[in-house]
Structure 1
């Protein structure tokens, strides 16, 4: 079955090994990528990570929702939701 998710420390170590670099440089590169993705998606754009997928923001309209504890209907304001579409290449590599 599935194991625990990779932590940021483990990801930085693996990235440093893959890049033949030190952990400080790999950590800075990872932080830069995350910063760019966050800035672009929060501005309404989308970012495609080749071989991984596409990260984008979707607007949801105002709607009626139900409180499961009380059953009361309340109006929820319009909001934004971050979504990710997984690339076919990644799906195929997982399923092969």
Structure 2
């Protein structure tokens, strides 16, 4: 499903315009971003799942083309753990 398809489905299900659905989706995604920017970086939607921020340590890797060793910087990543209801629905 693409973003436009999701917006169309949200609009149809909630009986609102596509513009309103797009605004709601944008608000949701911005809210997730803001929650993950915080120090603890966690957002839980009961029955759906949990988005959390994890810190990846710096590590060594290899350039696949040349095989030469490279340093990979430490970074933040987003992890999603599905909730019980979501797991059971799939």
Q: TM-score range by the shorter chain?
A: 0.7 to 0.9
Output the CA distance in 1 between the equivalents of 2:22 and 2:70.
Answer: 44
Which of 12, 17, 22 aligns to 1:22? It is 17
Output the CA distance in 1 between the equivalents of 2:45 and 2:75.
Answer: 25
Instruction: Let me know the Cα RMSD of the aligned residues.
Output: 1.3
Output the CA distance in 2 between the equivalents of 1:90 and 1:21.
Answer: 25
Asked if 1:41 is matched to 2:36, the reply is yes
Output the CA distance in 1 between the equivalents of 2:4 and 2:74.
Answer: 36
Output the CA distance in 2 between the equivalents of 1:51 and 1:16.
Answer: 22
Structure 2 residue aligned with 1:52: 48
TM-score of the aligned structures, taking structure 2 as reference length: 0.87
**Large movers: runs of 4+ above 3 Å:** none
Q: Give the deviation of 1:18 after TM superposition.
A: 1.5
Count of aligned residue pairs for this structure pair: 89
Q: Give the deviation of 1:43 after TM superposition.
A: 2.6
Output the CA distance in 2 between the equivalents of 1:58 and 1:33.
Answer: 21
